[in-house]
Structure 1
Amino acid sequence: MNPKLKSYLFPGLLAVLVLGIAGYLVVQSLGSGSSLPVVQAAPDFELTNADGRQIKAGDNAGKVVLMEFMFTSCPDICPVTTYKMVQLQEQLKQQGTFGDKVQFVAVTFDPERDTPETLQKYAERMGMDMSGWHVLRGEEAATKELAAKYGVNVVNMGEGQFVHNVTSLQLIDAKQQIRRVYEMGDGMDNEEVLKDISSLLDE
């Protein structure tokens, strides 16, 4: 091949190749619907709702789930997280997805103090719309074991106080896979969480 002709053709072919690869990557990203990786399968559970109903993890299949581990006598991180979840609740209600396509779950570490009545009062005080919330309790030892399966370590400090990971907020997809783990309390970014929920709804 003529060297001059080759010098003209090679950059053009390279440009076509680069554009082709870029186009493929764009199509792949659009087709995936979400860039959130799978952290792990969400462990199964069977716990009791504040109204006395038995709730299994599988009951949430087909919905995107935002799940917190908490206790109602927590002085700071837990109520701040629940408050921020309630803010998300209102945004999702405006979108028409809360309760229908998105489920919120709160699991207490402290079943001794967090009786069904206490959980119901907490839900009312925090403004939790129970049409889209499961507020759950179980035996303390079993709940501690369940939390550990979700990557949350819990220590009972006595007198109604618990120490646990700040990263105790889980985003679970419709196939019951954990896709994101968030920081609770003041470090929780509602815009980020809402964006991730929307991403999973588009999958």
Structure 2
Amino acid sequence: MSKTLRRYFFPLALSIILVVLVAYIAYGRFHPDNGLRVVGAAPGFELQDLNGQPFRSDNLNGTVRLMEFMFTSCPDICPATSYNMVLIQNELKSQGLFGDKMKMIAVTFDPKRDTPDILRAYAARMNMDMSGWVLLRGDEAETAEIASRYGVTVQNLGDGQFVHTTTSLILIDGKQKIRRVYKMGVDMNNEQIVGDIKALLKETT
């Protein structure tokens, strides 16, 4: 290579390398590889809040949501899940990350027994911080149909008992995309869930 070519080639090559490096860093910043691939779109729905008012899922667009399907008379997995969600709530609160851009949602399978007053009592017993929780109810068949669209199956056994898919704890990002589905109850990995929520909050900002 002649001296003239070398004079132009090396600065040009260095410039190209710098441009590629900057682009790579920028892509990593705005498209972080946090392992939270999109599982699918989170189906929209409309249910009722504790005041009997219509509540649409898209009211929470722009927020990260951890959503459980449950019923308050459940003897084991549902209260264990709610308890763990409250532990996650407390950890996020300690870091100033709960209640504004991050919400917890609980949808009951059992509107007959889970009246607004029962749900309020359950929330108080579990120490749910209602600045960041949304408790929802609706027609039983309607709720079961919504759950099925989230991949959750439920069966009413009578006597106030239901069986349902144990992987019905769902992490949703601010763009209505499902990003992770977790096991419920004692199998929950709270540390992982907190890390996943923080990763999605970082994406949102």
How many angstroms does 1:50 deviate by? 1.7
Q: Which runs of 4+ in 1 moved over 6 A?
A: 21-27
Structure 1: give runs of 5+ residues left out of the alignment.
1-20
Q: Aligned with 1:202: secondary structure?
A: helix
Name which of structure 1's ranges 50-59 and 145-154 shifts more when overlaid on structure 2.
50-59
The normalised TM-score by structure 2 is 0.85
Aligned counterparts of 1:196 and 1:25: Cα–Cα separation in 2 = 23
Q: Which amino acid aligns with 2:56?
A: K
Deviations 1:27-84 (A, max 9, x none): 6544412331111111111111123232110011000000000000000000000000
| TM-score, normalised relative to structure 1 | 0.86
- Residue 188 of structure 1 is matched in structure 2 by 188
- Identity between Structure 1 and Structure 2 (%): 56
Amino acid at match of 1:169: L
Specify the alignment match of 1:15 in structure 2: none
1:151-200 Cα shifts (integer Å, max 9, x gaps): 00001111010010110000000001000000000111100000000110
Give the aligned partner of residue 85 of structure 1. 85
Instruction: Find the aligned partners of 2:24 and 2:187 in 1 and give their Cα distance.
Output: 33
Whole-angstrom CA distance in 1 between matches of 2:98 and 2:140: 29
Corresponding residue for 1:107?
107
2:22 and 2:103 map into 1 onto residues whose CA distance is 36
Query: How far off its partner does 1:22 sit?
Result: 10
Task: Name whichever of 44-53 and 163-172 sits farther off.
Answer: 44-53
Matches within 5 A, 1:1-203: 28-33=27-32, 34-203=34-203
Shift of 1:26: 7.1
Whole-Å separation in 2 of the counterparts to 1:58 and 1:140: 21
Q: Deviations over 1:111-154 (max 9, x none)?
A: 00001111010001110111101100000000000000000000
Where does the alignment leave 5 or more consecutive residues of structure 2 unmatched? Answer: 1-19
Query: In structure 2, what is the Cα distance between the partners aligned to 1:36 and 1:28?
Result: 16
Over the residues paired in the alignment, what is the CA RMSD in angstroms?
2.0
1:50 and 1:135 in contact (8 A); partners too = yes
Answer with 59-68 or 94-103: which moved more. 94-103
CA contact (8 A) 1:29 1:35 kept: no
Count of aligned pairs between the two proteins: 186
CA distance in 2, matches of 1:100, 1:52: 22
Q: What is the alpha-carbon distance in structure 1 between the residues aligned to residue 25 and residue 149 of structure 2?
A: 36
